[in-house]
Structure 1
Amino acid sequence: MMSVSDKVLKLAFQGEWNTLLPILRGYPDLVNHPSEPKGYTPLHQAAWHGANLSVMGELLSIGADRSATTNAKRQTAYDIVVEKHKRPDLQYLLFPQKLTIGQILRKVVSTERQLFTDYDGNQILVDKMIAASGVEQCPDDLNELDTRLSHLFFALTGKAISTADTIHFDVGEGFTFTVEAEFFRLIFFPLVHQVAVKKISYLESEWAVVSDLFDPAPTQWGLRGSLFLWLEMRQALCQVSIPEDKNELGDIISAAFQSLTGKSLINRVGGNDFYVERFSRGGGSSGFVASLFWLNEFIPQLQQRLTWQQTVWSISPRSF
Structure 2
Amino acid sequence: MADSLALAAGQLSLNAWQGKWGEVLGILEYSPSLINHVSQKKGYSALHQAAWHGADLTIIGRLLQYGADTQLKTHEQQTAYDIAVKKHAQREDLRFVLYPASRTLAQLMRKIFAQGMPELMHYPDKLLMDNLVMLLSDEVCVSPTSSAKERFYAAFMAMTGTPLSTPFERHASIPPNWWVDTDYWRDEFLPQLLELEKCKSCIPLEHSWATIGDLLTPDHSGWGLRGDPWLWMEMRKSLSRVPLPDTLKDLTALLRNVVLARTNSTMLDDDAVYVPRFCRGGMSSGHISLRFWEQKGIPAIVQRAEWLREMWGTGERG
Partner of residue 33, structure 2: 29
Q: Counterparts of 1:104 and 1:284 in 2: how far apart (Å)?
A: 39
Q: 1:116 to 1:126 in 2, by over 3 A?
A: farther
1:194 aligns with 2:195: yes
Q: Which amino acid aligns with 2:156?
A: F
Partner of residue 253, structure 1: 255
Scaled by the length of structure 1, the TM-score of the pair is 0.90
Across the aligned residues of Structure 1 and Structure 2, the Cα RMSD in angstroms comes to: 2.1
Q: Which amino acid aligns with 1:18?
A: G
Structure 1 residue 120: Cα displacement: 3.6
Alignment of 1:103-252 (within 5 A): 103-113=107-117, 115-117=118-120, 119-136=122-139, 141=145, 144-166=147-169, 169-171=173-175, 178-199=179-200, 200-252=202-254
Q: Counterparts of 2:295 and 2:174 in 1: how far apart (Å)?
A: 45
Partner of residue 287, structure 1: 286
Aligned equivalent of 2:80, options 74, 77, 81? 77
Aligned equivalent of 1:50, options 32, 51, 54? 54
CA contact (8 A) 2:9 2:34 kept: yes
Partner of residue 265, structure 2: 263
Scaled by the length of structure 2, the TM-score of the pair is 0.91
Identity %: 35
**CA offsets, 1:104-150, max 9 Å, x none?**
1101111132x2436543222111100111222686557x1111111
CA contact (8 A) 1:257 1:264 kept: no
Q: Secondary structure at the match of 2:42?
A: coil
Q: Counterparts of 1:315 and 1:22 in 2: how far apart (Å)?
A: 21
CA contact (8 A) 1:50 1:81 kept: yes
Q: Secondary structure at the match of 2:198?
A: helix
Q: Which amino acid aligns with 1:190?
A: P
CA contact (8 A) 1:44 1:76 kept: yes
Structure 1 residue 178: Cα displacement: 3.9
Which structure: greater strand fraction? 1
Aligned equivalent of 2:7, options 3, 6, 17? 3
Q: Which amino acid aligns with 1:21?
A: L
Structure 1 residue 34: Cα displacement: 0.7
1:302 aligns with 2:301: yes
Q: Which blocks of at least 5 consecutive residues in structure 2 are unaligned?
A: none
Structure 1 residue 177: Cα displacement: 5.1
Q: Counterparts of 1:274 and 1:140 in 2: how far apart (Å)?
A: 36
Structure 1 residue 246: Cα displacement: 1.0
Q: 1:255 to 1:178 in 2, by over 3 A?
A: same
Q: 1:272 to 1:264 in 2, by over 3 A?
A: farther
Q: Which amino acid aligns with 1:99?
A: R
